[in-house]
Structure 1
């Protein structure tokens, strides 16, 4: 167990990453995605953990997500700063749909890297000994947007950090609901409900609050403006529609109310178990990664045309450039595209935050929880980048936006024209559960 003369120390810092110039937003398929002001400022938050054997860094960023390549570049910069390897740096994205597109805006990406590095330096210089305690509340903040209303990961992960006098210093939450309370009719930069939730909980508990997005690939927020579903399905067409001043004001007020409802709901969930979470000394701290190669089949020309026609008909998505890319791959006899998927784990005592860069459907996280036989293994998406959706085999067969149509828009960022093959989710679930079992079986302690 932990020796008294080797206490684990943690350092925290946050920094503003809001651009002060107009940027292209990412997250909605619109004619014009240029930002028009700021609603909520964007944050990057840094948590450094170090013991005699381990030093690692957890970072949360208010962004839809950088590409894996850009995220790894940032991780390498941070790893160099803390004197560790890349696998000791985990970057988690909130997946807000009201943030800049760092994938095409080099100025913004460079700005974020600079700001995050400054926060890392500050976090390293302000470490202190803290205790940690896990808790699991039930959070009712999401709905399954693929018609399976009963399938939602309601686990709200609570990780409380306190000093030796049991005064809370940091609260880390893992939630599962898309950060798109604000819909495609919003052009203001915003951290979405992450912003309103952090503000509320920091005021209530008197400590800093970090939030990790979970397996929310098929989970939309429970509270939104009344036309949110229409905007989500018909985003491109809706962006061409003119709303009256009265309609704009009505939806604006509904969005304000929805953001507050999301924050209040999360607060009530946390508060229901707050006094039951008793931090203890840290006896296990680890961060590590494993990589596995998975495949995605390239569709034939005929199948690609059918997918593009369906996407155009059902969601108004133009698949012209995607069809050109599929045709190019077929002409070069490329029928399979491969992806090296990194699965990363951040372990504290008997709980873990782990995940991959894909947009993970909630059923996968629930399957991992079941196989691992612990609610404290929180599998998430948007970890170390944002890539294509990862559907279950059942949802893969159904197709739709998350499985097929979204690729027509975002394939250029994923490096693949199709999602990973249908058996991938099952394989990853088994890998994570087995890795967790082996890790605990090794009895690894500080």
Structure 2
């Protein structure tokens, strides 16, 4: 049973957890209105690769794996709960409705009795109820990563999985010496947007799918263990490394998720659109750098605001696209990009985004001298030919003033006694911005 964690202390205490930086995981959620057939949950979630999954409540069964008496080989993860949900009866909210349902699940296991390792890995986009039983108004959703491991000895264990890397300092071996559950979302009262901020996504999917059962299509068959694709880091596996040369991995997952028929625009998420220019030996050197997240090929992303159009490149199937233009921009300007995922998902419509082109601001020094109360800032702009004005603020928005200097590198020295700022931000008149923690010196 995948219960929401009611309090941070319910997670086993561990020291030193390290994650890969957050990625674009999910793109959109059904905004409503919601209906009783879905228990008044959001009908679907869409990931950053453009795949949309419905709340998986169908009782379609696998044509690849035979079920057992009393245990049908459902294509959805439907968990009977005595007195709450009887899977042999029609689903009806709230009288016979799962206390846990899922838009997506992916599970894997590593067992090596000789090495003393028993690992279970589970990730999901889950629908549940705050009081654990179907009650109107108690609906919540969350993105979950759960890792539980029996380990033989104390030490540092590194677990790599499709959505990140976790480092655990384990004080003693034993059953569930590693016990992590990370739920992001929860909320309630009809708000299902919290799971968009989680680290689950894009949806993993079977390399052998999609599977069709009747008129319904699925990204995997939870009754099978299969290789998958879709990790944003190309880590389509679970691996554990630990003391004594422990290094075990699996590439096999059981996956559930029902592909939706809803037609949605192709995801297109801006990351960075910046320019730089300089003059060297009388020659102007200019470039524009465009970074976006969108579905990987066969999708296409194109910069259409220049002639000829410029196609962005995606190298490794993670959905990170890039292009560089050598045109000298007229600032301020807006770049126009399109993303088309209709080859992979015919119902996806073309998305067009207007993105401001800005300079790239870099803070190279942010020091506060405790003895004098002086804050010293040094920052630069990537526009060396026509350097724009740079303005500094504290992290809470208090104006510090303009940086001075005729070139691309500018400075500011100002008195801020007796309390130093924790952070500073420098913004450019051409739209660029950078923020840094302030270094405290004697």
The TM-score range, normalised by the shorter chain, is under 0.3
TM-score, normalization by structure 2: 0.24
Which one scores higher on RCO, CA 8 angstroms, separation ≥ 6? 1
TM-score, normalization by structure 1: 0.24
In proportion to residue count, which structure has more helix?
1
In proportion to residue count, which structure has more strand?
2
Structure number with bigger Rg? 2
